[in-house]
Structure 1
Amino acid sequence: MSFYTSLNGLKNAQSELSVIANNLANAETTGFKKSRINFADIVASSASANPKLVKGIGSAVQSIDQNFSLGPTQQTGGALDMAINGEGFFTKVSPVTGKTFYTRNGNFTLDGGGFVTDTQGSRLQVLPVDAAGNVTSTTPIDAQAPLVSGTGFDFMAVTIKADGSVIASYADGSVANVGKVALASFVSPGGLLQIGGQDWQATGISGPATYGQPGAARFGTILSGSLEQSNVDIAEEMVGLITAQRYFQANAKAIDTATQLSQTIINLRS
């Protein structure tokens, strides 16, 4: 029994090392959120067993939780770089698959069609606004700056304000409000599915997205020209790495001790 109990411990230690290694590997990844592994003990006994004699048969991975605490903000000066000062996720839609993604990575650019996109081509979503800049719907649309103004002048640049307004400017000095950045919130963000590239998708555990404009209710404001860095604390991860290593070594030693005891019993019988 001790062999299998310690074997569970070795597997769990390996899982913990994998989680820590992934955190450390993404310590410089923009918008990355670290994970933490949780264990649960395994107890095998019947209702008639003496509770004072139950030894337990090891542990198992109970969950790997995501930590959505804010990471440090770094100023970049990029016109389309954004960081959320508070809660919420940027919303993106792939023009190829139509799938919706959520991210804290605000590194966006402008493509040839005037769409605000990420590095994979997914389009940033904004809330439509009227001429006065007031939000008219909570259904997000693609952020697209018209390449020609209403008076026929060419597009020059696009900027983003703290309230999330995406403003396009033109050669004649006129401007057009494209919309306000659509931020998404979830009842249980820990239930979001990680799909890589600092992107998440909604699941039945996270619940559907609720959209709002920056600065409203529980949503944070937009920091233009900045990016949110990873929330990984390298010192904390290194301490966890040492602890996991000791955990692995201790279980390996328990297996070695059990092997020696078994060999001793075999030698006595022979």
Structure 2
Amino acid sequence: MRALAIAATGMTAQQTNVEVIANNIANINTTGFKRSRAEFTDLLYQMERTHGSPDRTGQAEVPEGAQLGLGTRLTAIRTLNIQGALANTGNKLDLAIDGGGWFQVAGPDGETLYTRAGAFNTNSTGQIVTADGYTLDPAITVPENTIYVHINQSGLVQAHVAGTEEYQDIGQLTLANFANPAGLDALGGNLYRASTASGEATTGLPGDRGLGTVAQGYLEQSNVDPVKEITELIQAQRAYEMNSKVIQAADDMAGVVSKGIR
């Protein structure tokens, strides 16, 4: 009975949907996290009667055919790159991007990786690094005896060193952007890698066309809306239950047939 297989695809789809929602909720407090959405498409259709086939008289065509859908399948898990709220932390090396763009960091093998999580710090040599120790790209080193680091909206990094009266320029932040940010490969650890789907990175100064500005002392929060996620979780649960009811009904119908044969 085809209903069993069709409903099974629906249950599999809703199970995946729940898993995506679970990951969103799990990362509700992850800095710079972007929620995902599972997207589905219908499967192939089985033709029971062709559109425009001759009617019984053979003098006209039937206006509608009969196509039976065979279920659904996962087509994509889309990352929704919507701006998250900015939370004031007061930490001088906490940076948030207000608008489009990604911070660039040097990965363990020298590969350029991308992140929206701007919880930076300095390592033992004074280089500005991520929480996992990856250096900013281009690298910026804070001099010894620095009293305060100032980063303006355009990404210019200045240091006030003890014994001096004026700030000195020590580096310039640049941001990267992509034609299709949803096509970035997620690596975990708030890091992403460019892919053929995302296109090559285009870099520029914060505030340039298509790039956001830098907010010092802020972190971008996750864009997960807990109320929305719970609502979608309930909808996915109900859809799963409905598909299971279809399987139960189809099984009962098959049972009636088998009992009739006996």
Q: Same fold (TM over 0.5)?
A: yes
Would the aligned equivalents of 2:103 and 2:115 in 1 still touch at CA under 8 Å? yes
Identify the residue that residue 143 of structure 1 maps to in structure 2.
Answer: 140
Identify the residue that residue 150 of structure 2 maps to in structure 1.
Answer: 159
Give deviations 1:199-229, integer Å, cap 9, x for gaps: 1110011011111111111111111100000
Opposite residue 28 of structure 1, the aligned amino acid is N
Residue 47 of structure 1, CA deviation: 10
Question: Which of 118, 126, 135 is the matching residue for 1:106?
Answer: 118
CA distance in 2, matches of 1:47, 1:177: 73
Question: Which of 133, 136, 142 is the matching residue for 1:124?
Answer: 136
Question: Which of 164, 173, 176 is the matching residue for 1:184?
Answer: 176
Secondary structure of 1:78 counterpart: coil
User: Which moves more between the two structures, 36-45 or 203-212?
Assistant: 36-45
Residue 143 of structure 1, CA deviation: 1.5
Give deviations 1:172-197, integer Å, cap 9, x for gaps: 12432122211000011110011111
Alignment of 1:236 with 2:223, yes or no, is no
Identify the residue that residue 25 of structure 2 maps to in structure 1.
Answer: 24
- Give 1:14-53 correspondences, 5 Å limit: 14-45=15-46, 49-50=50-51, 52-53=65-66
Identify the residue that residue 4 of structure 2 maps to in structure 1.
Answer: 3
Would the aligned equivalents of 2:127 and 2:142 in 1 still touch at CA under 8 Å? yes
TM-score (norm 1): 0.88
CA distance in 2, matches of 1:2, 1:11: 14
Would the aligned equivalents of 1:14 and 1:248 in 2 still touch at CA under 8 Å? yes
CA distance in 1, matches of 2:136, 2:48: 57
Residue 57 of structure 1, CA deviation: 0.3
Residue 165 of structure 1, CA deviation: 1.0
Would the aligned equivalents of 1:82 and 1:106 in 2 still touch at CA under 8 Å? yes
Residue 62 of structure 1, CA deviation: 1.2
Would the aligned equivalents of 1:43 and 1:54 in 2 still touch at CA under 8 Å? no
Residue 156 of structure 1, CA deviation: 3.5
Residues paired across the two proteins, number = 248
Opposite residue 4 of structure 1, the aligned amino acid is A
Residue 44 of structure 1, CA deviation: 2.9
Identify the residue that residue 71 of structure 2 maps to in structure 1.
Answer: 58
Alignment of 1:220 with 2:212, yes or no, is yes
Secondary structure of 1:54 counterpart: strand
User: Which moves more between the two structures, 213-222 or 154-163?
Assistant: 154-163
- Give 1:197-216 correspondences, 5 Å limit: 197-216=189-208
Identify the residue that residue 93 of structure 2 maps to in structure 1.
Answer: 80
CA distance in 2, matches of 1:55, 1:222: 53
CA distance in 1, matches of 2:81, 2:133: 25
Opposite residue 161 of structure 2, the aligned amino acid is Y
CA distance in 1, matches of 2:193, 2:150: 27
Would the aligned equivalents of 2:95 and 2:218 in 1 still touch at CA under 8 Å? yes
Secondary structure of 1:230 counterpart: coil
Q: Is there any run of 5+ residues in structure 1 with no aligned partner, and where?
A: 126-140, 148-153
Would the aligned equivalents of 1:156 and 1:170 in 2 still touch at CA under 8 Å? yes
Opposite residue 122 of structure 2, the aligned amino acid is L
CA distance in 2, matches of 1:221, 1:243: 38
CA distance in 2, matches of 1:11, 1:175: 59
Would the aligned equivalents of 1:84 and 1:222 in 2 still touch at CA under 8 Å? yes
Q: Which has the larger radius of gyration?
A: 2
Residue 159 of structure 1, CA deviation: 2.5
Shift >4 Å, 4+ stretches: none
Residue 55 of structure 1, CA deviation: 1.3
Residue 48 of structure 1, CA deviation: 7.3
CA distance in 2, matches of 1:10, 1:145: 54
CA distance in 1, matches of 2:233, 2:182: 23
Pair 187,177 (structure 1): closer, same or farther in 2 beyond 3 Å: same
Give deviations 1:113-168, integer Å, cap 9, x for gaps: 1100011110112xxxxxxxxxxxxxxx2112233xxxxxx444422122211112
CA distance in 1, matches of 2:233, 2:259: 39
Would the aligned equivalents of 1:163 and 1:215 in 2 still touch at CA under 8 Å? yes
